[in-house]
């Protein structure tokens, strides 16, 4: 089985088992942008609490969040953890959005993926995963998001190297799959669901996994 066929087969197996995931769970592209920072090194449950705090104060729009003092922002996003660090990162991201796109996330979406990614990666506190999550889920660009679950699942099935960098894994996916933002969106969400339910870090639950019967020698 060719690698492209294998990646598409995995997608179908995950979709059949888990169904559409309806990612990203947010009410607006701007909320996705904020959530992409808040979700660093924490669970979505904690992020949701922080977002709810911002929403209840009417702060989930660019102008309101830009004008909010740093200390107040940090206090409101405390449930997401590392609240001082994340408050500064959010302010850095908003400053870039103001400088490069006049505060308009739709303008970021209209930019080319390459140029928009360069702008995002230049922000202190925004790495490749965060940048690509914003590009895919907030801006609708066809960029595959790689996370720890992606590496773990596909390494265990011998589809990516044991030691591999973010961009290497991303290039493998994007070479194996059609360039389609909706596909990348759903695929990444399904991998996360698989990781949470079965492909755990230390004690994977292989029995009953939707990928349990894939033949490893076909994937080399």
Into how many domains does the chain fold?
2
Say yes or no: 35 and 131 in one domain.
Answer: yes
Shared domain check, 161 and 123: no
201-212 mean pLDDT: 94
Clarify whether residues 105 and 205 are in a common domain.
Answer: no
pLDDT at 124: 97
Q: What is the pLDDT of residue 1?
A: 62
Q: Is 174 helix (H, G, I), strand (E, B) or coil?
A: helix
Q: Are residues 69 and 88 in the same domain?
A: yes
- Range 200-210 average pLDDT: 94
Q: Are residues 122 and 35 in the same domain?
A: yes
User: For the segment 12-70, what is each residue's pLDDT rounded down to a tens digit?
Assistant: 999 999 999 998 888 899 999 999 999 999 999 999 999 999 999 999 999 999 999 99
CB 175 within 8 A of CB 5: no
Q: What is the CATH number of the domain that holds 69?
A: 1.10.340.30
Q: For residue 2, what pLDDT is reported?
A: 79
Task: Please give the residue range of the domain that contains residue 151.
Answer: 3-22+145-218
Burial class (CB within 10 angstroms; exposed 0-12, middle 13-18, buried 19+) of 54: buried
Confidence band, pLDDT 50/70/90 cuts, at residue 218: very low
CB 68 within 8 A of CB 59: yes
DSSP helix/strand/coil, 180: coil
Mean of pLDDT values over 169-176? 97
Read off the tokens for 178: 């059609």
pTM of the predicted protein model = 0.93
121 with 158, same domain: the answer is: no
Give the span between the Cα atoms of 191 and 182, in whole angstroms: 14
Shared domain for 90 and 176, answered yes or no, is no
Residues near 105 by Cβ (< 8 Å), separated by ≥ 6?
29, 30, 33, 62, 97, 138, 139
- Select the more confidently predicted residue: 216 or 138: 138
Give pLDDT, residue 130: 98
Stretch 140-156: mean pLDDT: 96
Average pLDDT (82-100) is 98
Percent of the chain with pLDDT over 90: 91
Task: State which of 96, 114, 138 marks the end of a domain.
Answer: 138
Residues 43 and 118 in one domain: yes
Given a cut of 70, whether residue 187 has pLDDT beyond it is yes
Q: What is the mean pLDDT of residues 142-165?
A: 95
Mark whether 37 and 134 lie in a shared domain: yes
On the question of pLDDT at 216 being above 60, the answer is no
Q: Which long-range contacts (CB under 8 A, 24 or more apart) does 99-104 make?
A: 103/62, 103/63, 103/66, 104/62
Question: Which domain-ending residue is among 138, 173, 195?
Answer: 138
Let me know whether 101 and 163 are in one domain: no
Which residue, 72, 112, 110, 111, is CA-closest to 90?
A: 72
Same domain, residue pair 98 and 159: no
* Residue 92, number of CB atoms within 10 A of its CB: 16
Residue 220 has pLDDT above 80, yes or no: no
pLDDT at residue 217 greater than cutoff 50: no
Structural contact between residues 158 and 6, judged by C-beta atoms closer than 8 angstroms = no
Listed residues 138, 164, 187: the one ending a domain: 138
The tokens describing 47, both together, are 């992020």
Q: What is the pLDDT of residue 219?
A: 40
At 215, the pLDDT band (50, 70, 90 cuts) reads: low
Please state, rounded to an integer, the average pLDDT across all residues of the chain: 94
Q: Do residues 57 and 133 share a domain?
A: yes
């Amino acid at each position: 089985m060719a690698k492209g066929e294998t990646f598409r087969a995995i997608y179908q197996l995950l979709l059949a088992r888990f169904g559409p995931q309806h990612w990203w769970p947010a009410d607006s592209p701007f909320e996705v942008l904020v959530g992409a920072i808040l979700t660093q090194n924490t669970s979505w449950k904690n992020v949701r609490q922080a977002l709810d705090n911002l929403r209840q104060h009417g702060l989930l729009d660019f102008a309101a969040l830009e004008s909010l003092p740093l200390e107040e922002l940090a206090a409101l996003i405390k449930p997401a953890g590392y609240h001082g660090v994340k408050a500064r990162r959010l302010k850095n991201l908003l400053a870039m959005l103001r400088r490069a796109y006049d505060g308009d996330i739709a303008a970021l979406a209209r930019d080319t993926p390459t140029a928009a990614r360069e702008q995002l990666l230049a922000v202190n506190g925004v790495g490749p995963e965060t940048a690509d999550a914003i590009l895919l889920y907030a801006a609708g660009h066809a960029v595959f998001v790689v996370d720890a679950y992606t590496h773990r699942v596909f390494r265990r099935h011998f589809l990516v190297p044991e030691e591999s960098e973010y961009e290497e894994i991303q290039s493998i996916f994007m070479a194996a799959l059609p360039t389609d933002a909706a596909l990348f969106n759903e695929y990444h969400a399904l991998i996360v669901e698989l990781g949470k339910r079965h492909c755990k870090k230390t004690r994977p639950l292989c029995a009953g996994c939707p990928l349990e019967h894939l033949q490893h020698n076909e994937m080399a």
